[in-house]
């Protein structure tokens, strides 16, 4: 007689959760490269437009009331397209995935169809940038960027909703820690993929392309001598530009492989999907027909906590999303670090976030999700304030390079900031989902992303405006972010619900059904 091993429903299946996380890993891999390199490419193209004799440049220069328009502002505005689409489309597709039924589950059809197409559009972003006609290049880039971002908004909510589908509520902080570790790994791969791509094209004999990826550049994306700043010309006497296509192609291939792993995992483990229980699906379908935002089946106190939490998420993400499109340009202009190496700096942040992932989940369970989030926010505000103060008070070296003391402050901020962001990110989504309950996982995932994506629209634009007002000084993004993190900390003190609840008998039965 064979013995069946029964897993304790109070303990998380880390291996299964990690496999679920491959979807989020592929998602974060694409976003890390997109947010690191697309702003650099756009800044080069737009700087050329502003510095040239185009009709747009002449219009700006002859109308004083347009003096607030800067390259940083326009780049950041373009980088919010994904967030605009997220606000419009992600809640919709989150809800649709709640009601989708197929042999591949509720979420997988959206992921399997849209992700590979995303990868194709992703690869064409740097290809469009290689066109020398600035107007045509920008037009094609914008077309590709819009298509890529729309498709990403279709499958992001479904891929995030996979974790709650497989995990009881009381274990979701720990599970979200694992998912965020997988996402952190995706980010880390994205931050080093530039160096990987440079090495690969070098091995293939494309030495010039490999060297260009490692080279220093000016505001136009032209390769310059790292010591003198002089232009490096090609054989025809024309300025040389960096072609980032190898970076994007390597990234797309790795991301697709992540989804392949997720597909085979789900094919083998679809019976472990707790939301696929027949009785739960029937109850869910019935409630989905009646549910409206104004008539959510939760108490007034829970509704108040939900609204306050969404407001806090809006403030917090104004800050986090403002950094994302600006850090590579900050490193390039302020620190004089080439893009593929500046992404390595963000890898330190991602390693710190990943290393603190599970401890942050444990803190959420032991101390409470709200307290853990507040600790993280307090640490972030302190680190940003310290770095900004040092960067403004400590003078640069005589050659214009950044003082070593400022470098040390930045590295400390990246290390501590990664752990602090882990405390926030790992506990916010479970807190929101717990207020709604399992039956509305997709719906409340949509609310969560409505709040975060709304902030992702306003945050970069406001931060770009601040940077432009301070004469393209990217150091001031840290002031902007510190203020919004502090506001988010104040608001979240008023949240009264969202901590994990006791596992019910029904959830225990469902968890036992998912045992190995």
pLDDT tens by residue, 387-410: 888 888 888 777 666 788 888 888
Position 17 scores a pLDDT of 87
Residue 276 has pLDDT above 60, yes or no: no
Residue 244 has pLDDT above 90, yes or no: yes
Position 149 scores a pLDDT of 94
Binned at pLDDT 50, 70 and 90, residue 216 comes out as confident
From CA 61, how far away is CA 320, in angstroms rounded? 32
Q: How far apart are the first and last CA of the chain?
A: 17
Q: What percent of the chain stands above pLDDT 70?
A: 83
Residue 2 has pLDDT above 60, yes or no: no
Residue 90: CB atoms within 10 Å: 26
Q: Which two tokens stand for residue 470?
A: 């301070």
Average pLDDT, the chain: 81
Position 287 scores a pLDDT of 46
Residue 191 contacts by C-beta under 8 Å, 6 or more apart in sequence? 32, 36, 343, 344, 346, 347, 350
Binned at pLDDT 50, 70 and 90, residue 285 comes out as very low
Position 59 scores a pLDDT of 66
- Give the tens place of pLDDT for each residue, 39-80: 999 998 888 887 766 666 666 666 665 666 788 899 999 998
Residue 515 has pLDDT above 60, yes or no: no
Q: Which two tokens stand for residue 220?
A: 């136009």
Q: What is the mean pLDDT of residues 5-21?
A: 74
What stretch of H or E contains 80? none
Can you name the residues that pair with 239 across neighbouring β-strands? Answer: 233
Lowest mean pLDDT among 130-144, 313-327, 347-361, 437-451: 437-451
Position 373 scores a pLDDT of 92
Q: What is the mean pLDDT of residues 431-454?
A: 74
What stretch of H or E contains 59? helix 55-62
Lowest mean pLDDT among 155-164, 198-207, 297-306: 297-306
- Give the tens place of pLDDT for each residue, 327-344: 888 888 888 888 888 888
Residue 98 has pLDDT above 90, yes or no: no
Position 511 scores a pLDDT of 37
Residue 34 has pLDDT above 90, yes or no: yes
Position 451 scores a pLDDT of 84
- Give the tens place of pLDDT for each residue, 312-325: 999 998 998 888 88
Q: Which two tokens stand for residue 308?
A: 């306050």
Using alpha carbons, list the distances in angstroms from residue 327 to 148, 221, 331, 335, 511.
22, 16, 6, 10, 42
Q: At 373, is the secondary structure helix, strand, or coil? A: helix
- Give the tens place of pLDDT for each residue, 462-480: 999 989 888 788 888 888 9
From CA 325, how far away is CA 340, in angstroms rounded? 15
CATH class of 14-270+289-513: mainly alpha
Position 220 scores a pLDDT of 77
From CA 373, how far away is CA 376, in angstroms rounded? 5
- What is the Cα 468 distance to its own chain's centre? 24
**Closest-CA residue to 200 (of 245, 155, 242, 239):** 245
Q: What is the mean pLDDT of residues 242-257?
A: 94
Position 510 scores a pLDDT of 40
Residue 30 has pLDDT above 50, yes or no: yes
From CA 41, how far away is CA 221, in angstroms rounded? 7
**Closest-CA residue to 440 (of 94, 85, 166, 156):** 94
Q: Which has more confidence, 439 or 226? A: 226
Position 388 scores a pLDDT of 84
In the chain, what are the domain boundaries? 14-270+289-513
From CA 432, how far away is CA 454, in angstroms rounded? 16
Q: What is the mean pLDDT of residues 22-30?
A: 93
Give the range with max mean pLDDT: 9-23, 236-250, 395-409. Answer: 236-250
Residue 253 has pLDDT above 90, yes or no: yes
**Closest-CA residue to 329 (of 52, 15, 3, 40):** 40
What stretch of H or E contains 292? none
User: Side-chain half-sphere of 387: how many Cα atoms within 13 Å?
Assistant: 27
**DSSP code of residue 231:** B
Position 505 scores a pLDDT of 40
Q: What is the mean pLDDT of residues 407-431?
A: 87
Can you name the residues that pair with 224 across neighbouring β-strands? Answer: 216, 231
**Closest-CA residue to 16 (of 188, 269, 305):** 269
Binned at pLDDT 50, 70 and 90, residue 6 comes out as very low
From CA 42, how far away is CA 61, in angstroms rounded? 20
Residue 375 contacts by C-beta under 8 Å, 6 or more apart in sequence? 363, 367, 420, 423
What stretch of H or E contains 223? strand 223-224
Using alpha carbons, list the distances in angstroms from residue 36 to 31, 188, 207, 213, 452.
8, 12, 23, 14, 20
Burial 363-387 (b: 16+ CB within 10 A, else e): bbbeebbbebbbbbbebbbbbbbbb
218: left (phi over 0), alpha (psi -120 to 50) or beta: beta
* Burial class of 60 by CB neighbour count within 10 A (0 to 12, 13 to 18, 19+): middle
Q: What is the mean pLDDT of residues 154-167?
A: 84
From CA 227, how far away is CA 28, in angstroms rounded? 35
Length of the chain: 516
Q: Which has more confidence, 511 or 449? A: 449
Residue 284 has pLDDT above 50, yes or no: no
Can you name the residues that pair with 223 across neighbouring β-strands? Answer: 217
* Burial class of 140 by CB neighbour count within 10 A (0 to 12, 13 to 18, 19+): middle
Q: Which has more confidence, 139 or 280? A: 139
């Amino acid at each position: 007689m064979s013995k069946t091993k029964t897993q304790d429903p109070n303990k998380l299946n880390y291996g299964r959760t990690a496999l679920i996380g491959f979807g989020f890993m592929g998602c974060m891999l694409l976003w890390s490269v997109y947010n690191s390199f697309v702003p650099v490419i756009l800044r080069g193209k737009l700087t050329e437009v502003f510095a040239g004799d185009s009709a747009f440049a002449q219009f700006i220069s002859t109308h004083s009331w347009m003096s607030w328009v800067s390259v940083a502002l326009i780049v950041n505005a373009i980088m919010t397209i994904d967030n605009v689409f997220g606000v419009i489309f992600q809640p919709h597709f989150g809800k649709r995935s709640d009601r989708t039924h197929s042999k591949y589950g509720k979420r997988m059809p959206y992921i399997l169809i849209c992700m590979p197409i995303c990868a194709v559009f992703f690869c064409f972003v740097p290809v469009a940038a290689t066109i020398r006609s600035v107007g045509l290049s920008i037009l094609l880039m914008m077309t590709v960027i819009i298509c890529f971002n729309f498709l990403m908004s279709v499958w992001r909510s479904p891929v995030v909703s996979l974790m709650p589908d497989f995990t009881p509520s009381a274990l979701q902080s720990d599970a979200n820690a694992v998912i965020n570790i997988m996402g952190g790994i995706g980010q880390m791969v994205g931050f080093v993929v530039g160096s990987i791509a440079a090495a690969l094209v070098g091995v293939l004999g494309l030495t010039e392309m490999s060297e260009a990826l490692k080279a220093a550049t000016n505001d136009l994306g032209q390769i310059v001598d790292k010591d003198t700043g002089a232009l490096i010309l090609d054989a025809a006497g024309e300025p040389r530009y960096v072609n980032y296509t190898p970076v994007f192609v390597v990234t797309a291939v790795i991301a697709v492989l992540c989804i392949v792993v997720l597909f085979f995992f789900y094919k083998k483990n679809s019976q472990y999907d707790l939301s696929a229980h027949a009785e739960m699906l029937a109850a869910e379908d019935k409630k989905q027909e009646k549910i409206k935002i104004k008539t959510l089946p939760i108490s007034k106190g829970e509704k108040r906590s939900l609204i306050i939490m969404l407001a806090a998420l809006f403030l917090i993400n104004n800050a986090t999303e403002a950094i994302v499109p600006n850090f590579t340009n900050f490193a390039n202009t302020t620190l004089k670090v080439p893009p593929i190496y500046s992404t390595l700096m963000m890898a330190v942040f991602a390693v710190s976030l990943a290393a603190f992932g599970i401890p942050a989940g444990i803190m959420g369970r032991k101390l409470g999700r709200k307290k853990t989030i507040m600790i993280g926010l307090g640490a972030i505000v302190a680190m940003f304030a310290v770095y900004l103060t040092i960067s403004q008070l400590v003078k640069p070296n005589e050659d214009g390079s950044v003082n070593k003391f400022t470098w040390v402050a930045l590295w400390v901020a990246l290390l501590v900031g990664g752990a602090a962001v882990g405390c926030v990110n790992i506990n916010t989504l479970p807190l929101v989902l717990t207020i709604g309950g399992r039956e509305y996982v997709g719906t409340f995932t949509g609310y969560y992303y409505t709040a975060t994506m709304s902030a992702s629209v306003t945050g970069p634009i406001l931060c770009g405006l601040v940077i432009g007002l301070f004469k393209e000084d990217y150091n001031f993004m840290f002031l902007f972010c510190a203020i919004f993190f502090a506001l988010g900390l104040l608001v979240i003190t008023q949240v009264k619900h969202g901590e994990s609840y006791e596992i019910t008998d029904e959830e225990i039965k469902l968890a036992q059904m998912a045992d190995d």
